[in-house]
Amino acid sequence: MADLSVPIDVAPPVLSARNVDVSLNGTAILHAVGIDVSPGEVVALMGGNGSGKSTFVRALVGAVPLARGSVTLFGEPAGASPRSRIGYVPQRMSAGGGVAATVDEVVRSGLLGHRRLRGPRDARTRAKRALAQLGIEDLLGRDVSRLSGGQQQRVLIARALVRQPDILILDEPMAGVDLQSQVAFAHALGHLKENGVAVIIVLHELGALARHIDRSVVLDGGRVTYEGAPPNDLGIHALPGHEHEHAHEDPPSPARGGIVLEGPA
Amino acid sequence: MTLLADPLVQRMLLVGLLVGAAAPIVGTYLVQRRMALLGDGIGHVALAGVAAGWLAGSAAGLAQRDSLAVPGAVLFAVAGAVIIERMRARGAAADVVMAILFYGGIASGVLLIGLAGGSNANLLGYLFGSISTVAWADVWITATLAIVIVGVGLGLRGALFAVTHDQEFARSTGLPVELLNMMVAVLAAATITVAMRVVGVLLVSALMILPVAIAQRVTASFSRTMYVSMAVGATLTLTGIWITLTHDLQPGALIVVLGVGVYVAVTLALASRDRLRRGSES
């Protein structure tokens, strides 16, 4: 069972993406993007608008197909079953339905998954607990479409947390969100980290979350251009037109100090 | 009360109750997915199925030439639903696909009924409903399909809500998104063939959508919208059928007009309540 070639002190990655290419409507968006995330590690995915961050996380959760490359979750190829252990927070509440839905109903939908078409008996209690983690348990019976942007974002995070995920993947959870919601999420993030949950979070700036971020990966033009300690100044790497010859294929285990993965400009 | 002793009246009311309560379940998912017109598209295809069943019946020399009409409608409606869903999943413009099914369904229905040696008058009962000729065999078919619709529609409410509310998130959880989407489409097809008898193909979608539109005005949750719309749907069909027992009116049309009337009344009542509230605040 034990694979002796793996050093004991390195936890196997929760998620590992290799050489991921994604094309949407015939346009290549991602080029050989790779990432590894270990238990309890918080990785910030950064880059300018159109750099491919959102497409990359959507590819990780199976919302867009890979043109090439692979995604491994918990040592298995990503499929419906291992995906049940992901908590995904999309960029915003789906403009979605023509029918009203309560916070309770939306959060409970997070309890479903592969071969789990019906929620558990204690769904309501669990939904309440997830909302309490973000300080919004009093919103339980409210119509989600009538909440503020920050409250909606916290509901989406609660919908992911109610799954008790082993990896949490968030797409710009802080964009346009009030400070109170940011602080509530930063608090919840600290707890998740302590409990060994791996986190990939798309961010424009580190902001209120800075102290929880272990590593940052910067995308530009669909390629990884930087990987390492959260940099203080990301300006140059996020600039459009900052071209790179190749992205690196086999990212090293998280190392402080930062490795700039750039070919000659 | 003597009316209630009449077996025909009993059958009409029973079918009306089943259809009125079952149709809004599927309607809630369709409104949620912003596909309120899906029922119309499938309904028109079902009409072609009626005619095809008729053609098959007369080709086989059956005594009752329309005895295959309902099975034909079920078959065509399900096939139409599957086609629409697949095209939609592949990113085709759903409205154009539905428009093509609309025209194709009606036109081929009229052609097929002609080939079967029938007249367009034979199609009228299916176009506008013919609940006053409902037989016990129809009641059993309706009851069976209604039980399936209610069972699946309510039993899988959580999963179907998840998929219709936020498809991308549902996919990330490992839910079988394609299968569940297909299930909604097939449930819609089953509902249409059941409701065809009561209100006819042309108004079938109204029975799915109107009660939901009414319920939406007064509820703030998905499950309450579904339950209220079931009650509204059953009340509308029973009231419509009851009135036509003593008045010479077309039941399908009456049910739909009643529904539109209730919708307008509720909307106006809510608007004037809001105005009163605002008035008392200022």
Per-residue pLDDT tens digits for A135-154? 899 999 999 988 988 899 99
- Amino acid A5: pLDDT: 55
- Amino acid B57: pLDDT: 86
CB contact under 8 A, A84 and B28: no
Put simply, whether B132 touches A (Cβ < 8 Å) is no
Structure tokens of B37? 């017109």
Confidence of residue A4 (pLDDT cuts 50, 70, 90): low
Structure tokens of A206? 């580190």
- Amino acid A257: pLDDT: 44
CB contact under 8 A, B174 and A98: no
Identify the structural domains of chain B with CATH numbers, from first to last.
2-281 (1.10.3470.10)
- Amino acid B242: pLDDT: 94
CB contact under 8 A, B166 and A96: yes
**CA dist., res. A254 & res. B6, Å (int):** 80
A interface with B, Cβ–Cβ below 8 Å: 58, 61-63, 79-84, 86, 88, 90, 93-94, 96-102, 104-106, 108-115, 117-119, 141-143, 159, 163, 169
Strands (E), chain B: none
Q: Which chain B residues are closer than 8 Å to A102 by Cβ?
A: 220-222
For residue A171, count CB atoms less than 10 angstroms from its CB and return exposed for 0-12, middle for 13-18, buried for 19 or more. buried
CB contact under 8 A, B161 and A84: no
Structure tokens of B113? 């009924």
Q: What is the largest CA-CA distance in chain A?
A: 58
- In single-letter form, the type of residue at position A66 comes to L
Confidence of residue A231 (pLDDT cuts 50, 70, 90): low
**Rg, Å, chain B Cα set:** 19
CB contact under 8 A, A86 and B36: no
| Chain B residue with the nearest C-alpha to that of A99 | B32
Closest in A58, A106, A112 to B175, CB measured: A112
Per-residue pLDDT tens digits for A176-186? 788 888 888 89
CB contact under 8 A, B158 and A100: no
| Average pLDDT score over residue span A201-229 | 89
**Residues A53/A219, Cβ–Cβ less than 8 Å:** yes
- Amino acid B226: pLDDT: 97
**CA dist., res. B269 & res. B217, Å (int):** 10
| Chain A residue with the nearest C-alpha to that of B179 | A117
What is the residue-level pLDDT of chain B in tens, covering all 282 positions?
Answer: 678 888 899 999 999 999 999 999 999 999 998 888 888 888 889 989 988 988 888 888 877 777 788 889 889 999 988 888 888 777 777 778 778 888 898 899 889 888 887 776 777 888 888 888 788 888 888 899 899 999 999 999 999 999 999 988 999 999 999 999 999 989 999 998 888 878 888 788 899 999 999 999 999 899 999 999 999 999 999 999 999 999 999 888 999 999 999 999 999 999 999 888 888 766
Per-residue pLDDT tens digits for A85-122? 899 999 877 765 689 999 999 999 999 988 888 889 99
CB contact under 8 A, A159 and B34: no
Q: Which chain B residues are closer than 8 Å to A158 by Cβ?
A: none
Task: Give which of A24, A99, A112 to mutate to test B binding, by max B Cβ within 10 Å.
Answer: A99
Mean pLDDT of chain A: 82
Whether A263 shows a pLDDT value over 50: the answer reads no
Question: How many residue pairs from chains A and B have C-beta atoms closer than 8 A?
Answer: 119
**Rg, Å, chain A Cα set:** 18
**CA dist., res. A129 & res. A97, Å (int):** 25
Q: Minimal Cα–Cα distance from B222 to chain A, Å? A: 5
A16-25, A75-84, B102-111, B229-238: least confident range: A75-84
Q: Which chain B residues are closer than 8 Å to A153 by Cβ?
A: none
Q: Which chain A residues are closer than 8 Å to B161 by Cβ?
A: 101, 105, 109
Closest in B34, B36, B221 to A100, CB measured: B221
